[in-house]
Amino acid sequence: MRFLEDPPRFLFFTGKGGVGKTSVACATALELAGRGKRVLLVSTDPASNIGQVFDITIGNTITEIPGVPGLSALEIDPEQAAEAYRERIIAPVRGLLPDSEIAGITESLSGSCTTEIASFDEFTNLLTDTVAYGHYDHIVFDTAPTGHTIRLLQLPGSWTEFLSTGKGDASCLGPMAGLEKHRTVYANAVRELTDPNRTRLVLVSRAQTSSLIEIDRTFAELTEIGIRGGYVVINGVLPVTAGDEAIATAVRNRESAALSTIPTSIATLPRDTLELKTGNMVGIAALRTLFTTGSPVPTDDAITEETADAPLAALIDELEKDDHGLILCMGKGGVGKTTIAAAVAVALAERGHEVHLTTTDPAAHLTETLHGIVPGLTVSRIDPEDATRLYRDHVMATKGKGLDDNGRAALAEDLLSPCTEEVAVFQQFSHAVHESRHRFVVIDTAPTGHTLLLLDATGSYHREVARQIGDNLPFVTPLMRLQDPEQTKVILVTLAETTPVLEAEGLQQDLDRAGIRPWAWVVNNSIAAAHPDSPFLRQRAANEVEQIARVRALTSRVAIVPLLPEEPIGETKLAALTVGAHQSV
């Protein structure tokens, strides 16, 4: 593996959700530990699953991996990090300040912005704290899907600039006394990230056009902030042992076509290719096979399990009974939320309904999935940069209207805080929720962890409104609409694999605690639903049966979308996913 040659201290694995970053990062950590190195494997994904991969509980404390000398792991849990962060700020003044002031500080540190900052604080400590982490030879970062990762890696520079040029009055950071420490730590983190002798960026992709375009974007954006150089890993390429039946040949041709048009800027980077295996990458034994080639193919007579079909069209039939409503597609990155959201939106529009399809995913590009115009369908994107600019303009035009020059300058400076983006995105999300009272609004959400932060902002807003209004006046907040099954239908999208199903199950539990009950599940890209013939693919299909059964036990509504010979891009192919009794393509 070229990306493992003479590795520096820090290795970052990033890419579009679902490409196998966690598997590659975990296998890398095993390889380095096998070389006798002391290795810390860290997940910066708010929806981390490295504990599931190793089948142990990890969480927000450094945990040794049993059976692997020299390897430890850490999952930066946003909620635990936020609680510890608040306590570090409040503990020194508890008993010194009045309870009302303590309550005020606590309230200012209770939002999603503080949750992000707390996680980010732990991340920068990993880069700069030589006392706590200096004994590790390598720290391997399994990052969140691309959009979240870019924001994480941009934050050291963003906060350094904000604290250096502004007054530094960011309530989510805590009292002013600690800001000088933040400035120094963030500046040191920037130095570590931008030194190629200290940090290596590994861009993980599938042999798919969308995944390759995504890492090309990532490489360009990170190069702009000084993180230079990089390695490319193409994961999960269908091997020749998969046979030459129609579905295998089509997938192989699709992969070859994607790789032949790899973007120029990343085509020149060192590249490694990893074969798709017959089993899932769960457990130490499986992970140790990831970097090998020529995995054994099972005999066909050992594969007997099948699964029943469940068409996506059946869900559309139920959704169509209403003439409006909010439809949220949620799930782990890379499971196909964008495809399913677009297919649902196109189907409803083609049945004569007014539909607004939008996305909250910083890395999503719906136009690449749709490729055209569908009558009755409006497509938009909640772009963080555009949302922030509009929000800043609105605040300056309203709150800043009556201020003098000094007051307007102070307000403008405060709005430069990276926290402003979270507020701006939430505001546009709330507008989309409100719009669903009159037509269908289909939202392709960001990968799980980022979505939970957005829902946390929704809950914080609800609590603030309820506190201010009390019991005297009626009110409706975005959270109340999300909790109403008559107004909101949440569709959890997953793959028929262990980790995506476990993560979707965890998301369902998180939603339940917020009073939001998922309406249906979609199992996407199912090899079992494609009914393959070759032993290799039939073994992959048999591995799916247990996970599909698990999904059926969790919900009364399930749709299973088969792996297709061609990617479902464009209106015609999207419509084909939802063909039913009332449709034809």
Show which residues are catalytic.
18, 20-23, 45, 499
The order of strands in the sheet holding 355-359 is 377-379, 355-359, 440-444, 325-330, 488-495, 520-526, 558-562
Query: Residue 174: left if φ>0, alpha if ψ -120 to 50, beta else—which one?
Result: left
Yes or no: say if 196 and 228 are a contact pair by the CB < 8 Å rule: yes
> Which one, of 74, 3, 65, lies nearest residue 34 by Cα?
65
Interior angle at CA 321, CA 319 and CA 325, nearest 5: 55
For 329, the 3-state DSSP assignment is strand
Give 6: exposed, middle or buried? Use CB within 10 Å, 0-12, 13-18, 19+.
Answer: exposed
Handedness of CA 94, 465, 412, 435 (dihedral sign): positive
- Residue 136's identity, in one-letter code, is Y
Q: CA neighbours within 13 Å on the CB side: how many for 171? A: 12
Cα–Cα distance for residue pair 501/497, rounded to 1 Å: 6
Cα–Cα distance for residue pair 400/393, rounded to 1 Å: 10
Cα–Cα distance for residue pair 495/544, rounded to 1 Å: 9
Give 146: exposed, middle or buried? Use CB within 10 Å, 0-12, 13-18, 19+.
Answer: buried
Give 422: exposed, middle or buried? Use CB within 10 Å, 0-12, 13-18, 19+.
Answer: buried
> Which one, of 232, 235, 246, 336, lies nearest residue 276 by Cα?
235
Name the token pair of 458. 């929704």
Name the token pair of 70. 């020299």
Bridge partners (DSSP) listed for residue 329: 444, 491
Place of tokens 């196909």: 336
Cα–Cα distance for residue pair 280/312, rounded to 1 Å: 25
**At residue 234, what are phi and psi to the nearest 5 degrees?**
-95, 110
